[in-house]
Structures are given as structure tokens and as C-alpha cells.
Amino acid sequence: MRGKLVVGNWKMNGNMLQNQQLLDAIVPEIKTLGNMASAVCVPYPYLVMTQKVLQSTKIAWGAQNVSPYDLGAYTGEVAAEMLVDLGCYYVIVGHSERRALFGEDNQTVALKFKKAQSVGLIPILCVGETLAQREVGETERVIAEQLDTVVNLVSIDAFAKAVIAYEPVWAIGTGKTASPDQAQHVHAFIRNRLASHNAELASKIQILYGGSVKSNNAANLFSMPDIDGGLIGGASLIASEFISICKAAQC
Ligand code: PEP
């Protein structure tokens, strides 16, 4: 049985004081929750403080990006090995902001996925279509290509230790959420596509929904059969919102 997972993506927000306050507020509340798992993916400079605060809690932590390269002369990059050193469990790869603003194509995302797994990190692979792609009926084609590029590089077996996040680009940070039915349709498509390679693996993989999830829509989204939790951007910066979303994921 797949458990529910809620992951906060802080994006490029926060400072030492705000982060401390946010973590101090969520830790005692999330401690009381059962039947769900949670994590926060924080900016690189705050991984040390996050590790310090969360290491004896049940909240995992991770990064929002990773270099596809091995340790070496890559100025400004952060290696997967370093994330392991800082106790990370997850790393987000292929977030739409990285695809759109930093030119990451499907192949680069696949290389990051592979590198993350090679050191034992769990990649959270983000896939999703733009509004223009949805409007011309390209949603499934786009998502199939995003998934298949990774499957072709690492093989389907690698997905046994990965999480997928369906994040329609038009819903990220816009306040527009996919309806539970719209999201479920794409989640089922993703699961079926993986099932065409390995049905058992596909039935076990967690597929999160991301895109303007808030406390007032989380429960409806999480009640859908193929939605296994959420990747939460803006609402993960507000302690009460993040806690409520985590509560909605309890089953
Ligand atoms: C995200 O950053 O992955 C995200 C889904 O953002 P938001 O919840 O703000 O739409």
C-alpha cells in the first residue's frame, strides 16, 4: 500500500530566522501525525541548519536541485555526494522553474535523476505541461516524453526508489489548481505508462500532485486514488498551511 507524502518546496525563500521559526512551528505538530510522511526541500545554504533541527524528528529534508556531475571542477555546482553528507533523503529534479528559467531539458533532468540515485538519494522527478500544451491536447505527449527520457536512461527498475510529482506548469504559484479529476486523470496516465514496463512497481510508486495546493483543496486532491500526496510551494512557507496540508494527507 502506498503511503501519503507531503513535501515542502521552499524555493528561493527564507533566511536563518524565518526558517528557524517555520521549522520550530511545524516539528511539534507533525510529530503528532500518523500514516503520512513529510519532508522539506530547502535552499542549499540552509541545509545545515535544517539538518540540525530535523535530525531527531520524523520530517525528512532534501534539496531542490543537484549537479549531474561527479565531484570535481564544476564551479558553482552542488554535488549529490554533498547532499548525502548533509543528510538529505530527497532531491527535486526537473522542477518546471528549472526547466523554464535555467534551460534544463529532459536529458539533463534524466542525468540528474541518475546521479542522485547513484549516491542513494531519492529523486522527486517533476513532470507537467504548460497551459499552451494542455490547450492543444499535448498534455499526455509532453509528460510521456519527460518520463520516457528518464526511463530510457536509468531503466524502469530505478523508479522503485523515486517519487514522481505531477505539476501542471499553469498551476504552479498561480493560485489555479487542477481539479481533483483533472489531476487524477494525469496521475493515472503516469501510473499506466510506468505499468506498461512494470505493473508491480507502478502500483507502488508515490505520485504527488503540485500546483497551488493549499489547506482548502488538499483533502479533495489527496482523496483521489492515484494522488499520493503533494509537492507544496508557497503554502509550505506558512506553518499553519503546511501543517493543515499534512493533516489532510493522514489516512
Ligand atoms: C512547487 O513549487 O512545486 C509548487 C507546486 O508551487 P505552488 O504550491 O506555490 O504552486
134 confidence band (pLDDT: 50, 70, 90): very high
- CATH number at 143 reads 3.20.20.70
Cite the beta strand spans of the chain per DSSP E. 4-9, 36-41, 59-63, 90-93, 122-127, 163-166, 206-210, 229-232
> Is 149 inside any structural domain?
yes
For 2-14, how does the pLDDT look when each residue is reduced to its tens digit (9 = 90+)?
999 999 999 999 9
- Give the mean pLDDT of the chain: 97
Give a yes or no: residue 232 inside a domain.
yes
Residue 3 placed within a domain = no
Which residues sit opposite 122 in a β-bridge?
A: 90
A 10 A CB-CB count for 11 gives 19
Q: Using alpha carbons, select from 164, 180, 169 the residue that is nearest to residue 135.
A: 169
Cα-Cα-Cα-Cα torsion 217, 2, 167, 23, nearest 10 degrees, comes to 70
Is residue 2, in this structure, part of any structural domain at all? no
Domain count, the chain: 1
Query: Is there a domain that residue 141 lies in?
Result: yes
* Domain annotation covers residue 123: yes
- Residue 230 located in a structural domain: yes
Q: Identify the domain containing residue 76 by its residue range.
A: 8-248
**What is the set of active-site residues?**
95, 167
Q: Which three cell numbers stand for residue 15?
A: 533566511
Residue 165, SS3?
strand
Atom of ligand 1 nearest to the CA of 126: 3
How remote is the CA of residue 225 from the centroid of ligand 1, in Å?
A: 21
For residue 175, name the pLDDT band (cuts at 50, 70, 90).
confident
Q: What is the pLDDT of residues 15-27, one digit of tens each?
A: 999 999 999 999 9
Question: What does the alpha-carbon distance between residue 196 and residue 70 come to, in Å, rounded to a whole number?
Answer: 32
Condensed to tens digits (0 to 9), the pLDDT of residues 239-248 reads 999 999 999 9
Report how far ligand 1's centroid is from the alpha carbon of 72 (Å). 32
Q: Is residue 202 part of a domain?
A: yes
Separation of alpha carbons 189 and 170, rounded Å: 19
- pTM for this model (two decimals): 0.98
CA of 73 to the centre of ligand 1 (A): 32
The pLDDT, as a whole number, for residue 173 is 87
Q: Atom 7 of ligand 1 has which residue's CA nearest to it?
A: 233
